[in-house]
């Protein structure tokens, strides 16, 4: 990422967009970009052309053309101009034209605000009618959009006020932590308007965003050395399990490798009375036995849940199955229906040693918007992935922090319950927001990320475990046993993430709370006996200081000490 300057402010430029607008080490904005999203909320690919640059030591002007492509066809054309001035002000202007008829849910600018420097900070929404509403960026994950109907936004950080002015549409802000994206997003068009919208060939879009800093910027230290700072608070690594693969059967080679990892449980998805469900469940239980992992059942139930629960209970009792946990889900509901949750008390009479939970098989957003009475269950659960809105490596690392926030928010909603995330995957498994129901379930190809088998997945997973540990998550299920979405290959060779889990789970579960001064580059665990695990998220070499030790890390490297 290229670093540009607008006076004393630094900003990254990458793929036509602005990232990490900061003063010294203090991040003011995370990203400014524009997107064309279709009727299923898919962000269309873009191609940049004709870039013209004028970059100085404290200012810049960059202009380029850009086209969006869908199914191999060019459907939209943009012209963009970005300017940074010596007074720190920055403008980003776009003019676009539809080249073909199409449906869109969004066409235009988005601004990402970093939670670390905005949580709880005062904010003023400047409305389209000229009124101003004073409030603050929410601390807990907000189920509703905190700022609406805006032509401008002012907010405070570092004790000074910053301003964004919007032209060309009406903007509002949502809390993207609902989808484990570590940002607040200010976007257009307002979410209360109907979508998708039909764009006709020749339709035009023009928008402009202006960023204005305070006239006298505060004094802020540069980033300096990377340090991991440790305190004396003890935190506990959550129980870590793995999900069943699409081909649930495990070979002796796969079984041998996974048995050595020290995992906690094996997630099995079951739909009682569905096609061939007894055979599928039996094969999964055999795999759990071969892996020597306790079964965790995600039980998907329909309107006939009483019949399904009876069939499931009888099968388990007949085969004397011992289940670690059962997550009750509604097969056609985003969040477990209350009528199903209320069955947990009677189920516990048949499964006295089993913990029962409820929640969602989708994102935290579903559970956050539809609260449940969880009195009858032992835990709440939701799924997570880091690619709801962006797919590049840096965005995935940025989004790790949101996993901590959703745990804290779930604990605030359900203070007497354990909180689990099941599963965590690199790519999303479902798109509950698809306009066409047939597009809700993603194909196996669309669920697969080529980074699964790379060192990047290993360090990303360590970062995930670190944030969940700091937040006090009770349990988490990662990925699948084997195959392209697994922790080992189909032949049983461990991917870097599998080898990393084996090494981590051989260490004590109690660690000392710590944080990195540059968490997008390096992070780590520090144990009470002074052992440590430190990793590099980046493609560049990094050096980190921990207490009196200095560790040099190669790209995507993990240091075990």
Residue 434 has pLDDT above 90, yes or no: no
Share of the chain above pLDDT 90, in %: 86
Both 401 and 440 in one domain: the answer is: yes
Is 217 contained in some domain? Answer: no
Residue 222 has pLDDT above 80, yes or no: no
Is 222 contained in some domain? Answer: no
For residue 385, the domain's CATH number is: 3.20.20.80
Both 175 and 279 in one domain: the answer is: no
Question: Each residue of 505-517: pLDDT tens digit?
Answer: 999 999 999 999 9
Inter-CA distances, 305 with 16, 366, 382, 507, Å: 51, 21, 20, 42
Question: Each residue of 367-382: pLDDT tens digit?
Answer: 999 999 999 999 999 9
Question: Each residue of 9-55: pLDDT tens digit?
Answer: 999 999 999 999 999 888 999 999 999 988 888 888 899 999 999 99
Instruction: Give mean pLDDT, residues 324-345.
Output: 96
What is residue 197's predicted lDDT score, i.e. its pLDDT? Answer: 87
Retrieve residue 11's tokens: 């900003």
The last residue of one of the domains, among 155, 179, 212, is 212
Retrieve residue 89's tokens: 């002000």
| 330 contact partners, CB below 8 Å, separation of at least 6 | 300, 301, 302, 336, 337, 340
What is residue 194's predicted lDDT score, i.e. its pLDDT? Answer: 81
Instruction: Give mean pLDDT, residues 253-272.
Output: 97
What is residue 394's predicted lDDT score, i.e. its pLDDT? Answer: 96
Instruction: Give mean pLDDT, residues 109-123.
Output: 96
Inter-CA distances, 36 with 91, 199, 537, Å: 20, 11, 29
Is 561 contained in some domain? Answer: no
The last residue of one of the domains, among 177, 212, 247, is 212
Among candidate residues 187, 153, 144, 196, the one with its CA nearest the CA of residue 169:
187
Both 240 and 150 in one domain: the answer is: no
For 43, which DSSP code? B
Give the span between the Cα atoms of 137 and 118, in whole angstroms.
6
For residue 109, the domain's CATH number is: 2.70.98.10
Both 307 and 342 in one domain: the answer is: yes
If DSSP codes are grouped into helix, strand and coil, which group holds residue 406? helix
Question: Each residue of 74-99: pLDDT tens digit?
Answer: 999 999 999 999 999 999 999 999 99
What is residue 195's predicted lDDT score, i.e. its pLDDT? Answer: 82
Is 409 contained in some domain? Answer: yes
Among candidate residues 106, 144, 141, 139, the one with its CA nearest the CA of residue 123:
139
Write the DSSP string, 313-370.
HHHHHHTT---SEEEEEETT-SS--HHHHTTHHHHHHH-TT-EEEEE-SS-HHHHHHS
Residue 478 has pLDDT above 90, yes or no: yes
Is 151 contained in some domain? Answer: yes
Both 193 and 312 in one domain: the answer is: no
Both 181 and 248 in one domain: the answer is: no
What is residue 40's predicted lDDT score, i.e. its pLDDT? Answer: 83
Is 53 contained in some domain? Answer: yes
- Pair 556, 539: CB distance under 8 Å: yes
Residue 221 has pLDDT above 70, yes or no: no
Q: Range of 242's domain? A: 228-553
Both 122 and 267 in one domain: the answer is: no
Both 240 and 146 in one domain: the answer is: no
Is 221 contained in some domain? Answer: no
Both 142 and 259 in one domain: the answer is: no
Inter-CA distances, 133 with 28, 146, 288, Å: 21, 11, 55
Residue 447 has pLDDT above 90, yes or no: yes
Tell me the pLDDT of the chain averaged across its residues. Answer: 95
Question: Each residue of 393-410: pLDDT tens digit?
Answer: 999 999 999 999 999 999
- Pair 327, 297: CB distance under 8 Å: yes
Write the DSSP string, 388-404.
SS--SHHHHHHTHHHHH
- Pair 259, 252: CB distance under 8 Å: no
Both 20 and 59 in one domain: the answer is: yes
Give the span between the Cα atoms of 483 and 425, in whole angstroms.
13
Q: How confident is the model at residue 224 (pLDDT cuts 50, 70, 90)?
A: confident
Instruction: Give mean pLDDT, residues 235-240.
Output: 97
Question: Each residue of 121-173: pLDDT tens digit?
Answer: 999 999 999 999 999 999 999 999 999 999 999 999 988 999 999 999 999 99
What is residue 442's predicted lDDT score, i.e. its pLDDT? Answer: 85
Both 241 and 189 in one domain: the answer is: no
CA 158 to mean position of chain CA atoms: 27
Is 397 contained in some domain? Answer: yes
- Pair 549, 506: CB distance under 8 Å: no
Instruction: Give mean pLDDT, residues 288-308.
Output: 97
Give the span between the Cα atoms of 82 and 16, in whole angstroms.
9
Q: How many domains does the chain fold into?
A: 2
Both 41 and 177 in one domain: the answer is: yes
């Amino acid at each position: 990422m290229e670093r540009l300057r607008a006076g004393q402010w630094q900003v990254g430029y990458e793929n036509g967009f602005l990232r990490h607008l900061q003063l010294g080490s203090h991040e003011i904005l995370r990203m400014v970009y524009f997107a064309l999203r279709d009727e299923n909320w898919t962000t269309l690919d873009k191609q940049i052309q004709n870039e013209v640059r004028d970059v100085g030591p404290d200012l810049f002007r960059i202009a380029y053309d850009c086209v969006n492509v869908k199914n191999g066809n060019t459907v939209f054309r943009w012209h963009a101009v970005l300017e940074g001035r010596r007074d720190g002000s920055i403008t980003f202007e776009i003019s676009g034209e539809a080249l073909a008829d199409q449906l869109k849910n969004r066409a235009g600018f988005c601004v990402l605000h970093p939670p670390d420097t905005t949580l709880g900070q005062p904010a003023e929404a400047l409305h389209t009618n000229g009124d101003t509403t004073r409030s603050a960026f929410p601390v807990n994950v907000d189920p509703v959009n905190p700022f609406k109907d805006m032509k401008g936004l002012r907010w405070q950080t570092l004790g000074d006020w910053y301003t964004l002015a919007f032209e060309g549409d009406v903007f509002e802000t949502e809390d993207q932590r609902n989808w484990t994206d570590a940002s607040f997003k200010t976007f257009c068009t307002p979410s209360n308007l109907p979508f998708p919208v039909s764009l006709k060939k020749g339709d035009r879009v023009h928008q402009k965003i202006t960023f204005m800093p305070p006239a006298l910027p505060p004094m802020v230290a540069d980033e300096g050395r990377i340090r991991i700072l440790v305190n004396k608070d003890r935190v506990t690594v959550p129980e870590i399990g793995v999900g069943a693969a699409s081909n649930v059967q495990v070979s002796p080679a796969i079984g041998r490798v996974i048995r050595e990892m020290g995992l906690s449980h094996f997630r099995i998805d079951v739909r009682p009375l569905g096609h061939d469900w007894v055979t599928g469940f039996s094969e999964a239980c055999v795999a759990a036995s071969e892996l020597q992992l306790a079964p965790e059942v995600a039980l998907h139930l329909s309107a006939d849940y009483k019949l399904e629960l009876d069939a499931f209970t009888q099968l388990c009792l007949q085969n004397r199955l011992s289940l670690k946990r059962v997550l009750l889900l509604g097969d056609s509901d985003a969040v477990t229906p209350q009528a199903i949750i209320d069955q947990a008390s009677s189920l516990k009479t048949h499964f006295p040693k089993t913990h029962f939970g409820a929640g969602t098989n989708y994102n935290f957003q579903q559970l956050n918007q539809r609260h449940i009475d969880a009195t009858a269950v032992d835990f709440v659960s939701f799924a997570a992935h880091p690619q709801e809105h962006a797919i590049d490596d840096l965005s995935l690392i940025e989004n790790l922090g949101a996993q901590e926030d959703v745990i804290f928010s779930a604990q605030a909603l359900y203070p007497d319950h354990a909180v689990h995330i099941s599963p965590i995957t690199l790519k999303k498994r479902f798109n509950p927001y698809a306009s066409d129901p047939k597009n809700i379930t993603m194909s196996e190809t669309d669920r697969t990320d080529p980074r699964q088998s790379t060192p990047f997945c290993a360090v990303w997973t360590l970062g995930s475990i670190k944030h969940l540990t700091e937040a006090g998550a009770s349990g988490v299920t990662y990925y699948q046993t084997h195959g392209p979405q697994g922790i080992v290959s189909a032949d049983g060779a461990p991917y870097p993430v599998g080898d990393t889990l084996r090494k981590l789970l051989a260490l004590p579960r109690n660690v000392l709370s710590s944080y990195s001064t540059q968490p997008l580059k390096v992070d780590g665990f520090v144990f009470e006996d002074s052992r440590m695990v430190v990793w590099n998220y980046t493609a560049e070499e990094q050096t980190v200081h921990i207490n009196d030790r200095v560790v040099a890390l190669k790209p995507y490297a993990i240091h075990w000490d």
